[in-house]
Amino acid sequence: MTERKKLTIGMATFDDYDGIFFSIKAIQLYHPEILKDIEFLILDNNPAGKHGEAVRRFLREEVRENYKYVPMREVATSFTKYKVFEIANTPYVLCMDCHVLFEKGSLKKLLNYYEKNPKTNDLLQGPLIHNKTYFTHWSDEWFNKQCGTWAKDKRGENPNSKPFEIIAQGMGMLSCRKEAFPKINPLFKGFGGEEKYIQEKFRRKGGKTLCLPFLRWHHRFDDKKPNKITYPIQTRFRLRNNLITHLELGWDLGPLYDNFFLDVKDFNQIYINTVKELRAIGRKDIKVEPKYIQIGKNMARLNKNENYNQNIHGKGKHIKNKSRYMEYTINTIWKISAILKKNSRTYRKFVKLIKNDNSQTKNRK
């Protein structure tokens, strides 16, 4: 009788044979002590693509019986990988991007952790090692249309330090008990929005998100890859996903206006449509709030004049009737700030732009 495996190591892929090969091969070569306790689960987002057959051949010839391959028929999305928690047949699951490497001994320590904490309801993550430094978690500051930035806690410097609680971490690697993983909203599409969302879902079920200092991982970032990613990462999808997370969890939408509005002109329409979609799947408590619609209208008027918008960003020539536009801009900012409050990033950003613009005007006189 075959002994049941303890841990599923699952990953989704989209035309990334190289990532699959090196991630799995590294586990085979540098973590041989765990091979009898694990099985690999590969979800292929493009099974008919040019990498699909290469991935299947590698699994047949070099992983052999210790894997499960699932061709996905849905549209590719970064949320596909979380299906590994649903499909896995082991009590514990490690979900990873298909281009992640683990430091030697880290996976055995993870299995030991589960042996000591078999009923844990916590989400387990670890320090990302990158460019000779490390990042233990995400901070609370928005950056590049993401609800956090890489940050470090000194407790993560030593792999032997005790686990500690964090707000969130990048989702290139996460692990938990199969039964502890929360239900993910089915409306997500494309890329982005899962950070902090999944960690908050664990908290609302009574769990925590822990950084295990020994669970150190390295991630290949695609901006340094010669053949760039081929699946679409659209700002509209990223905005929609973040609207879903914020609306489902009851979070303030103000930061989304701050970080997305200049790039998504029909913000209000996406907001309204997202609310309708959520209501259609049973969230009748979620409604369109007039205050957010008004913010969108104010910001749309603020950006309506393309020439002025170019000027305040330093891209265009000085335009006529500057005082009229400046007065209108200031009035609009105060209307927005009354809703978002003065600590809003939108408020600070536009005030800074206006001050810089006024300073340049005085210097020209």
Residues 6 or more apart from 143 whose CB is under 8 A from it? Answer: 149
Question: 125 forms bridges with which residues in the sheet?
Answer: 211
The answer to whether 126 touches 214, Cβ cutoff 8 Å, is yes
Q: What is the mean pLDDT of residues 180-187?
A: 95
Tokens encoding 250: 């009851």
- At 151-162, the pLDDT tens digits run 999 999 999 999
| pLDDT: which is higher, 299 or 332 | 299
| pLDDT: which is higher, 249 or 261 | 249
Q: Is the pLDDT of residue 295 over 90?
A: no
Q: What is the mean pLDDT of residues 249-269?
A: 82
Fold classification of 7-224 is Spore Coat Polysaccharide Biosynthesis Protein SpsA; Chain A (3.90.550)
Q: What is the mean pLDDT of residues 56-85?
A: 89
Q: Is the pLDDT of residue 264 over 90?
A: no
Q: CA 94, CA 85: separation in Å to the nearest integer? A: 8
| Helices 267-280 and 235-249, packing angle to 10 deg | 50
The answer to whether 152 touches 110, Cβ cutoff 8 Å, is no
Predicted confidence at residue 268, as pLDDT, reads 87
Q: Is the pLDDT of residue 254 over 60?
A: yes
Q: What is the mean pLDDT of residues 154-176?
A: 96
The H or E element spanning position 327 is: helix 322-340
Q: What are phi and psi of 176, to 5 degrees?
A: -165, 175
State the chain's mean pLDDT as an integer: 83
Q: Where are the domains of the chain?
A: 7-224, 235-364
Cβ-based neighbour number of residue 201 at 10 Å: 20
- At 109-147, the pLDDT tens digits run 999 999 999 999 999 999 999 988 999 999 988 877 778
The answer to whether 90 touches 5, Cβ cutoff 8 Å, is yes
Q: What is the mean pLDDT of residues 301-311?
A: 48
pLDDT confidence band for 85 (50 / 70 / 90): very high
Q: What are phi and psi of 157, to 5 degrees?
A: -70, -40
Q: Is the pLDDT of residue 209 over 50?
A: yes
Least reliable range by pLDDT among 119-123, 129-133, 310-314, 341-345? 310-314
Predicted confidence at residue 321, as pLDDT, reads 39
Cβ-based neighbour number of residue 252 at 10 Å: 11
Predicted confidence at residue 170, as pLDDT, reads 92
Q: CA 353, CA 359: separation in Å to the nearest integer? A: 10
Predicted confidence at residue 144, as pLDDT, reads 76
Distance of alpha carbon 310 from its chain centroid, rounded? 31
Q: Is the pLDDT of residue 308 over 90?
A: no
Predicted confidence at residue 74, as pLDDT, reads 73
Predicted confidence at residue 202, as pLDDT, reads 98
Predicted confidence at residue 43, as pLDDT, reads 96
| pLDDT: which is higher, 272 or 363 | 272
- At 94-110, the pLDDT tens digits run 999 999 999 999 999 99
Length of the chain as a residue count: 365
DSSP 187-252: T--SS---TTHHHHHHHHTT--EEE-TT--EEE--GGG-SS---S---HHHHHHHHHHHHHHHT--
The answer to whether 354 touches 326, Cβ cutoff 8 Å, is yes
- At 230-253, the pLDDT tens digits run 555 678 888 999 999 999 999 998
pLDDT confidence band for 176 (50 / 70 / 90): very high
Work out the percent of the chain whose per-residue pLDDT is above 70.
Answer: 75
Q: What is the mean pLDDT of residues 19-23?
A: 97
